[in-house]
Structure 1
């Protein structure tokens, strides 16, 4: 999200099958934060269920932390022994290298038609879908109800409201009136949410046809506002935004030290565990609710190397059944990527489902990173390292965004040559 939450690493068991059987190897990311809720438990149960119905297919699952899983898959591919399937953070490089099956070669038409369209569209490289969305999240504005009550304020709906609320929180001694994590952990996420809320044609990192527009006038205006109206007025807390990471901002919110910040679904559990009373509203825009929320999805893909297209497709049809998608989404507090599971969650007012409704409402109109561009990894890395400089007092938003635009243009040209 960067990708969601995985923390622990676990290896699936191995087994041999008869010569007439097929063994499918899946490498998956861990969304759990301890051995007790490792994704290994989910995949082991799902594989066992599938194998009971398909005795000629063995599914071996290896689960790794998000710190390791992309590298593990790359090592396997580079060694000439790709897994049959991988559930990781990006697909475009493998699609560009001709290593993946098109989704239409794998999934049934019914399964393909069930995906939320903007997520399927984001899985396309050169107009062919290779990435299958796996789990999704969006961002909303979290606010501390207790601190807001003490300051006598209500949740903001515009940037002016947000700045005024931050001033009121600062006056009450709140440590981080608005937490602005532009540090290297996940600055590309906070950046994109602000770009999408900028109005005046603010379009995130790219325009409607996929051309990078990082240094657009609207985006420069957005970061100038952040520099002057939040950071310059000391409304973002004691840590410079360029040094504040998302995990630290979330931890500070859970400790009751943050008035407002952009958050994804995992913050619900983190804040609830610490007893913080919070509310959630759509991200404010310049003159009203932001045009769109930022959406994030991770990816499933099928590798060509060992064949098995029919078996991979049949297994993935099973993975993406409404029952299995809902179970995963509820276990890890993430959003379903299929219409059937989304509708089921929207129609439920209990437990995890109800808590996820604010995020679910944003998903149909959310905008994702330009993940179909093989240049995105390099651009994302450059944003993480540099965007914090755009909001330092006396800094140059136009200068920083122009440098990032040059990096993006060069990476785009190199990846398409």
Structure 2
């Protein structure tokens, strides 16, 4: 029999070699399981969510799919539960923070894939030029370092990435560092005082004095990474994909825990694509066989190596950590159990995420108002939740 698998392609961008990993893994699986064939359909990463949604709506759901979202399909009872697919040993091997992010009402449907947690990258050469001895461990130290970098002529002392590409990640990192966040057990909670304080500090202490670049409301991840690799950014939040790129560009970088407001390491933002298995075709056993192979230690390490992503199983993470060539990833791996996530287990999140991307940057600009922006996001979240409830 044949399983259909819809996965993302990345063109010539970061992650382009992932397609080779898929082909290698599928060939190895089919050799071990000659009665199961995998039909791989590659969809450009920017179109994968919409393509999958159209396919499901037309009654042509693939057996397996990669996506940024899973909650809608789980709530519509279209997905297999993870415990329908994996044995208990493999289930227990998933890093708990990532497995729990894939749960709805304590049942896991989303299978984390291509995981990541960011850290604070800094340019050691620029730090030395500015007379800074090491990475900051508090917001006050971060501001002092940014001021020294600006005085030393660095174009962007801190690369604040609140542009539309992934503003929700940068904003959440600062909110978590202030003991805030987007949501709690009772639902969305944008306007909580910790979030207001985080955005207010950014507005007054980094953006207003010109320590966060010319226009942080439009400064997105891709141009931020490019600017860091040109030596134009003193420090910024970034994912492990920047490690290899910085080494190739010969940028003398370091990475550190993202600091809390007063002192210490903040909880990192957890990011992941999601794999899911659709029930429509009735191929539970075959889906489970392929996924169990994919998340076995050898395959998990193979997928992560060279991708700038991290294995989501304990065994895979430990195996990658032991490879001398992967030493730069160890601190990223070590912080994975502490990762905290966007509310990806809410079907309303994609709409709310789009609103965050559109508005959050303006909150820290000269005419912005952090409280008003967060209150507007809370209203948007309530409306999105109401629409999601009506659909169900």
When the two structures are superposed, what TM-score results if normalisation uses the length of structure 2?
0.96
| C-alpha distance after superposition, 1:101-149 (max 9, x if no partner) | 1111111222111111111111112322111111210010000100000
Q: How many residues align?
A: 389
Q: Please identify, of 267-276 and 185-194, the stretch whose mean Cα deviation from structure 2 is larger.
A: 267-276
Pick from 326, 332, 356 the counterpart of residue 383 of structure 1. 356
Pick from 44, 50, 60 the counterpart of residue 81 of structure 1. 60
CA contact 1:31–1:332 (8 Å) conserved in 2: no
> Given the alignment of the two structures, is residue 106 of structure 1 paired with residue 67 of structure 2, yes or no?
no
Aligned residue in 2 for 1:7: none
Aligned residue in 1 for 2:122: 143
- CA-CA distance at 1:245 after TM superposition: 1.1
CA contact 2:14–2:307 (8 Å) conserved in 1: no
> Given the alignment of the two structures, is residue 42 of structure 1 paired with residue 21 of structure 2, yes or no?
yes
Equivalent residues in 2 for 1:265-304, closer than 5 Å: 265-304=240-279
Q: Give the Cα separation in 2 of the matches to 1:92 and 1:35.
A: 27
Aligned residue in 1 for 2:175: 195
Aligned residue in 2 for 1:322: 297
- CA-CA distance at 1:36 after TM superposition: 9.9
Equivalent residues in 2 for 1:192-271, closer than 5 Å: 192-198=172-178, 202-207=179-184, 209-238=185-214, 240-271=215-246
Q: Give the Cα separation in 2 of the matches to 1:347 and 1:53.
A: 27
- CA-CA distance at 1:32 after TM superposition: 6.7
- CA-CA distance at 1:160 after TM superposition: 0.2
| C-alpha distance after superposition, 1:5-62 (max 9, x if no partner) | xxxxxxxxxxxxxxxxx10010112357459943221111211111112121111111
Q: Give the Cα separation in 2 of the matches to 1:179 and 1:71.
A: 31
SS at the partner of 1:332? coil
In structure 1, the gaps of 5 or more residues are 1-21
Q: Give the Cα separation in 2 of the matches to 1:37 and 1:342.
A: 22
> Relative contact order (C-alpha < 8 Å, sep 6+): which is higher?
2
Q: Give the Cα separation in 1 of the matches to 2:52 and 2:124.
A: 43
- CA-CA distance at 1:66 after TM superposition: 1.2
| C-alpha distance after superposition, 1:285-304 (max 9, x if no partner) | 10112430101111111001
Aligned residue in 2 for 1:17: none
When the two structures are superposed, what TM-score results if normalisation uses the length of structure 1?
0.90
SS at the partner of 2:137? coil
CA contact 2:117–2:268 (8 Å) conserved in 1: yes
SS at the partner of 2:53? helix
SS at the partner of 1:305? coil
Q: Give the Cα separation in 2 of the matches to 1:253 and 1:319.
A: 34
Aligned residue in 1 for 2:389: 416
Aligned residue in 1 for 2:155: 175
| C-alpha distance after superposition, 1:331-368 (max 9, x if no partner) | 312111001111222333x11x2111121121111101
| C-alpha distance after superposition, 1:362-408 (max 9, x if no partner) | 11111011110111111110000000111012421111111111111
| C-alpha distance after superposition, 1:67-115 (max 9, x if no partner) | 1222221222122111000022111111112211111111122211111
In structure 2, the gaps of 5 or more residues are none
Pick from 112, 118, 140 the counterpart of residue 160 of structure 1. 140
Q: Give the Cα separation in 2 of the matches to 1:70 and 1:247.
A: 20
Pick from 24, 34, 37 the counterpart of residue 3 of structure 2. 24
CA contact 2:15–2:307 (8 Å) conserved in 1: no
Pick from 95, 108, 128 the counterpart of residue 116 of structure 1. 95
| C-alpha distance after superposition, 1:191-214 (max 9, x if no partner) | 00010111xxx231112x152111
Equivalent residues in 2 for 1:60-71, closer than 5 Å: 60-71=39-50
- CA-CA distance at 1:267 after TM superposition: 1.2
CA contact 2:321–2:330 (8 Å) conserved in 1: yes
